[in-house]
């Protein structure tokens, strides 16, 4: 597929027929109760569980019967999922609207593997950059790399936004036990001056390395923050020549990097076939490698790769990302669930939901199919979440007794990196308890049996039948973080294939950027854009007035 011959994958008739069967199957399943389904099958917990690539997925607490997954797999086959997976791994231009491959799987292939795109072995290119990153990371971490005044680096500031920020921040929090304690990592994303001011506050310019991460090297927020950091450095060290010892770039745009004043010898490249939200394991992971070191970064890549291989080779009925993707379709399209929750019972994954928001919603928040026709049904649900147990004390009430159906993914690890007393046991017990409470609830009879006054009974009933997955692993290591991210990446791709949409473009974010550019002069007191609407005109006037108020 590509420009000119854009078409939908799969067999339209088979797809339509299976969709119809699933509508009928949904009518049957929607009337079932998880308590009964578990009572009827003593082995349901293990029957609906899969282990792969170091992860364990229990999907038994979903509103499914023995027929559901086979029917959803039939839908996947009718939509051409097998061909779509093969096309991704072969480097075909599956990013149809941008006419290029989406080859993040090449970023974690071992040395010696080959994917040839337009006559070039991209895996070889990947390893060339990985070697360059390793070499640099070793020099910085060992103190061999010196700043302009001869001092070693102690603070690293990653400046980037979206995919050039969320992955690195998330990974830094997740992998803190593996991070070099003598390096202080900071992240700047927002054009809000507070973000940059906070990151620079207290940093010693003589010992600070700025990593400017931007695929395009044109993103307004990143450029503004990078210029601010450049001024801060030059003001402190008194020379433009300091820039080359304190700034490195991660980008696909060598010209813009050079124009900024960064030596391209200190630029770490990647390629247009790496989407921003799929880039944390490319050179965008430089800050991650600086923090955890090349060896642990290799483990991270190995985790990604293990899940890639599972996705590529496992039969769909035993394929973790396929099953997760199909369950998302099941709830979104057949139950009408508008949002999904991801609740890591691991504080170090506090930024994981934010990372997944870009991955899932920028990928699949689409309204037209590959051929430009409107998608005939809903696409990506809103994704949100917070670490447990914190969420239990705020929004879990809605999950248990609210009127919305919100499927939840729980993520938990058997061991803590920093055990204190029995706290990890308490954490795990809470994860299991929430999954049980959502699935099985508490009936009116059980409430009465606890001696509750009759008028309070309806308030204390917990309906249950609220679907959830449990994802388990031994410990949050770099390897397991890699497998977990790849699991969601491939689940997102699976969903996009069912919906027939392009998971790798993001045209919707462009309009806001364009409008912001035209409004900056007006905010600064200059001319209003032609034909500005009355609301925006009024808001600009109000802002001008407020700026003068004390």
| Residues of this chain that bind ligand F6P (CB under 6 A) | 161-164, 214-216, 219, 222, 276-277, 362, 506, 509
CB-based contact 26:334 (threshold 8 Å) = yes
Instruction: Output the smallest distance, CB 258 to ligand F6P, in A.
Output: 17
- When the beta carbons of 270 and 384 are compared against ligand F6P, the nearer one is 270
Q: Which residue is nearest to ligand F6P, using beta carbons?
A: 276
Q: Which of 43, 393, 454, 510 is catalytic?
A: 393
- When the beta carbons of 161 and 431 are compared against ligand F6P, the nearer one is 161
- When the beta carbons of 101 and 341 are compared against ligand F6P, the nearer one is 101
Tokens of 484: 């977990």
Q: What is the DSSP letter of 388?
A: T
- When the beta carbons of 299 and 364 are compared against ligand F6P, the nearer one is 364
Which residues, at least 6 apart from 500, have a Cβ–Cβ distance to it below 8 Å? 8, 9, 79, 369, 370, 375
Instruction: Output the smallest distance, CB 252 to ligand F6P, in A.
Output: 8
Strand spans (E) along 346-400 = 382-384
Cα–Cα distance for residue pair 283/126, rounded to 1 Å: 9
Q: Give Cα separations from 19 to 160, 376, 490, 502 (angstroms).
A: 42, 12, 22, 20
- When the beta carbons of 280 and 306 are compared against ligand F6P, the nearer one is 280
Which residues, at least 6 apart from 213, have a Cβ–Cβ distance to it below 8 Å? 158, 159, 160, 164, 165, 168, 222, 249, 250, 251, 284, 286, 287
Instruction: Output the smallest distance, CB 159 to ligand F6P, in A.
Output: 10
Q: Give Cα separations from 168 to 286, 371, 388 (angstroms).
A: 8, 34, 22
- The verdict on whether 362 is a catalytic residue reads yes
Instruction: Output the smallest distance, CB 308 to ligand F6P, in A.
Output: 21
Give the chain's end-to-end CA distance (angstroms, integer): 60
- The verdict on whether 139 is a catalytic residue reads no
The side-by-side arrangement of strands in the sheet containing 208-213 is: 184-188, 155-159, 208-213, 247-251, 267-269
CB-based contact 240:174 (threshold 8 Å) = no
Q: What is the DSSP letter of 424?
A: H
Instruction: Output the smallest distance, CB 166 to ligand F6P, in A.
Output: 8
- When the beta carbons of 60 and 164 are compared against ligand F6P, the nearer one is 164
Instruction: Output the smallest distance, CB 519 to ligand F6P, in A.
Output: 17
Cα–Cα distance for residue pair 170/181, rounded to 1 Å: 17
Instruction: Output the smallest distance, CB 523 to ligand F6P, in A.
Output: 20
- When the beta carbons of 258 and 312 are compared against ligand F6P, the nearer one is 258
Q: What would you report as the CA-atom Rg of the chain, rounded to the nearest whole angstrom?
A: 25
Which residues, at least 6 apart from 240, have a Cβ–Cβ distance to it below 8 Å? 234, 261
Most distant pair of Cα atoms in the chain: their distance: 78
Instruction: Output the smallest distance, CB 189 to ligand F6P, in A.
Output: 9
Residue 518: closest CA among 542, 545, 538, 536: 536
Q: Which of 362, 366, 386, 480 is catalytic?
A: 362
CB-based contact 166:351 (threshold 8 Å) = yes
Tokens of 123: 């895996």
| Beta strands at 120-121 and 116-117: parallel, antiparallel or unpaired | antiparallel
Q: Which of 128, 135, 151, 513 is catalytic?
A: 513
Residue 211: closest CA among 203, 195, 197, 222: 222
- When the beta carbons of 334 and 352 are compared against ligand F6P, the nearer one is 352
Instruction: Output the smallest distance, CB 214 to ligand F6P, in A.
Output: 3
- When the beta carbons of 420 and 511 are compared against ligand F6P, the nearer one is 511
- The verdict on whether 513 is a catalytic residue reads yes
Active site residues: 362, 393, 513
């Amino acid at each position: 597929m590509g420009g000119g011959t854009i078409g939908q994958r799969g067999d339209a008739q088979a797809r339509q027929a299976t969709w119809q069967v699933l509508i009928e199957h949904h009518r049957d399943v929607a009337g079932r109760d998880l308590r009964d389904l578990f009572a009827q099958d003593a082995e349901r917990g293990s029957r609906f569980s899969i282990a792969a690539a170091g992860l364990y997925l229990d999907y038994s607490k979903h509103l499914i019967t023995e027929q559901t997954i086979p029917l959803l797999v039939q839908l996947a086959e009718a939509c051409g999922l097998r061909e779509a997976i093969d096309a991704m791994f072969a480097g075909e231009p599956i990013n149809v609207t941008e006419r290029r491959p989406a080859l993040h799987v090449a970023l974690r292939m071992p040395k010696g593997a080959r994917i040839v795109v337009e006559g070039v072995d991209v895996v070889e290119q990947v390893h060339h950059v990985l070697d360059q990153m390793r070499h640099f990371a070793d020099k910085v971490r060992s103190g061999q790399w010196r700043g302009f005044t001869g001092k070693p680096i102690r603070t690293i500031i990653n400046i980037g936004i979206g995919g050039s920020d969320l992955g690195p921040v998330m990974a830094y929090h997740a992998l803190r036990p593996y991070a070099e304690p003598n390096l202080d990592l900071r992240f700047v994303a927002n054009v809000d001056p507070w973000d940059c001011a906070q990151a620079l506050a207290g940093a010693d310019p003589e010992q600070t390395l700025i990593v400017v991460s931007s695929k395009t090297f044109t993103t307004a927020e990143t450029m503004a923050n990078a210029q601010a950091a450049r001024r801060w450095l030059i003001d402190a060290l008194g020379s433009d020549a300091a820039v080359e010892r304190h700034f490195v770039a991660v980008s696909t745009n060598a010209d813009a990097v050079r124009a900024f004043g960064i030596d391209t010898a200190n630029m770490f490249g990647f390629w247009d076939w790496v989407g921003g939200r799929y880039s944390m394991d490319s050179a965008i992971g430089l800050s991650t490698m600086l923090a955890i070191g090349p060896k642990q970064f290799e483990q991270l890549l190995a985790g990604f790769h293990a899940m890639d291989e599972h996705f590529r080779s496992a039969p769909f009925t035993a394929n973790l990302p396929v099953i997760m993707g199909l369950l998302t379709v099941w709830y979104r399209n057949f139950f009408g669930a508008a949002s999904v929750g991801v609740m890591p019972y691991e504080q170090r994954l506090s930024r994981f939901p934010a990372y997944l928001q870009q991955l899932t919603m920028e990928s699949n928040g689409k309204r037209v199919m590959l051929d430009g026709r409107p998608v005939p049904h809903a696409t990506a649900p809103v994704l949100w979440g917070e670490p447990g147990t914190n969420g239990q004390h705020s929004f879990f009430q809605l999950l248990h007794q609210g009127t919305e159906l919100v499927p939840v993914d729980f993520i938990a690890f058997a061991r803590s990196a920093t055990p204190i007393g029995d706290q990890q046991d308490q954490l795990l017990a809470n994860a299991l308890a929430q999954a049980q409470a959502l699935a099985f609830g508490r009936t009116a009879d059980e409430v009465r049996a606890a001696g509750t006054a009759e008028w309070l009974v309806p308030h204390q009933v917990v309906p249950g039948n609220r679907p959830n997955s449990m994802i388990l692993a031994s410990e949050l290591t770099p390897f397991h973080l890699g497998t977990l991210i790849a699991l969601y990446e491939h689940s997102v791709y699976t969903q996009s294939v069912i919906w027939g949409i392009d998971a790798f473009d993001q045209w919707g974010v462009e309009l806001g950027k364009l409008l912001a550019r035209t409004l900056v002069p007006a905010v600064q007191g200059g001319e209003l854009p032609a034909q500005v609407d009355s609301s925006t005109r009024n808001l600009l006037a109000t802002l001008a007035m407020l700026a003068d108020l004390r």
